[in-house]
Amino acid sequence: MANRVAICAVAQIKNDPNLWHARFQNMLLECFEGIISQTNVSFDMEKGIRTVLTCSDDVWDARTISDNAITDVVGAHFRGEEKIAQESLNGLGYAMACILSGHDDIILYMGHMKESQTESRGMCTNLAFDPFYCRPLGMDFVNVNAMQARAYMATSCINEEHLANIVVRSRKNAKKNPYARNNAIVNQDDVMKSPLLSDPLRELHYYPTTDWAFGMILCNEKRAKEFTGKPVWITGFANCIDSYFLGDKDLTSNFTLKNATERALKKAGIKGLKNNFELYELCDHAAYQLPMWAEGIGIIKDGDGGKWISEGGLDECNINISGGMLNGNPLLLGGAARVIECFYQLRGEADKRQVKGAKRALAQSTYGAAGQHQAVVIMEV
């Protein structure tokens, strides 16, 4: 199989509500040093890293071309550097392209996002809308997701208890994940009484403000053994974007995720999900998204979300053993966090949360409001 690339090593800092004592350069540097010490990879122009990919966002960094601020701490001085100005999972797809094209043997992929820097997450995501119509209406990712939540809850018979159970489970799972944001354990009642953000979304239904950074080394098949004895392979990647205006699309259709999954599976040469995957990591910005994305990927049939949760489907299918995005990853890095969890699981290094016999995993991410853009990565050992 010449169409796969290896993830050889990952490094991360702990997800944190407010890293007030660090600037994002400090966050990245820890990850950079983690990668170098694990792999001893060099920056030699022939044999080493020639291209560094980064993931960050100018609006959230409040800095034009914000990757110029980190060239030094990601080792990219007098090397190539390109910034994934998109959800981080898409960087895995592009890293795959860099390597499979023959242009690079090794890619260092680093990402950072410090959500605590801005005084208002809503004001940042409001800027993702056109200045003429949606922006003045006050749209941001929370209130548009709330519209999707209401529509989806109706079609898939999701009630407040279902959402509360998803949050309770996420917090429990996260306690077993040493890199997860430290959150209080909550019960169903806590969730159902938490304040409304945008009806029907409550505060505890939504991922909290989080600072985080990561690094990973990707490599072609031939050279992977130089850096690890246990490579995890990326065998499929695809994404899909929906139209912009809310009135132009059916918010419950999962149009983009269905397309992205189908195309990623095709690239990986896998026919259908059934019996083929031991775990799934999904980007649940909000609790309702966990069953909704499960439907989009095809883990369950359309409309079965509510029933599936009641029957314990989340544990049965090993969905978001890490605690998920819902426990706290920054907006654009949820995908990288999903990939990193799959990496540990497939290497058998997930400790207390290890899924036995994990051979193949699917990681999904989304960005934009109401799942406008969806991406899927297939990982195997």
Q: What gap in Å lies between CA 342 and CA 346, rounded to an integer?
A: 6
Minimum gap (Å) between residue 241 Cβ and another protein = 5
> Which residue, 62 or 185, is less far from another protein as judged by CB?
62
Q: What gap in Å lies between CA 111 and CA 331, rounded to an integer?
A: 12
> Which residue, 340 or 369, is less far from another protein as judged by CB?
369
> Which residue, 93 or 334, is less far from another protein as judged by CB?
93
Phi, psi of 104 (to 5 degrees): -135, 145
Locate 241 and state its tokens: 């974007």
Minimum gap (Å) between residue 256 Cβ and another protein = 8
> Which residue, 43 or 276, is less far from another protein as judged by CB?
43
The neighbouring-strand residues paired with 5 are 234
Minimum gap (Å) between residue 304 Cβ and another protein = 25
Q: Are 205 and 193 within 8 A, CB to CB?
A: no
User: Whose structure tokens read 């119509």?
Assistant: 133
> Which residue, 133 or 312, is less far from another protein as judged by CB?
133
Minimum gap (Å) between residue 220 Cβ and another protein = 10
User: Whose structure tokens read 């918010």?
Assistant: 251
Minimum gap (Å) between residue 25 Cβ and another protein = 5
> Which residue, 151 or 246, is less far from another protein as judged by CB?
246
In 3D space, the residue among 85, 144, 157, 108 whose CA is nearest the CA of residue 332 turns out to be 85
Minimum gap (Å) between residue 9 Cβ and another protein = 17
Q: What gap in Å lies between CA 84 and CA 54, rounded to an integer?
A: 6
Q: Are 146 and 368 within 8 A, CB to CB?
A: no
CB atoms within 10 A of CB 298: 17
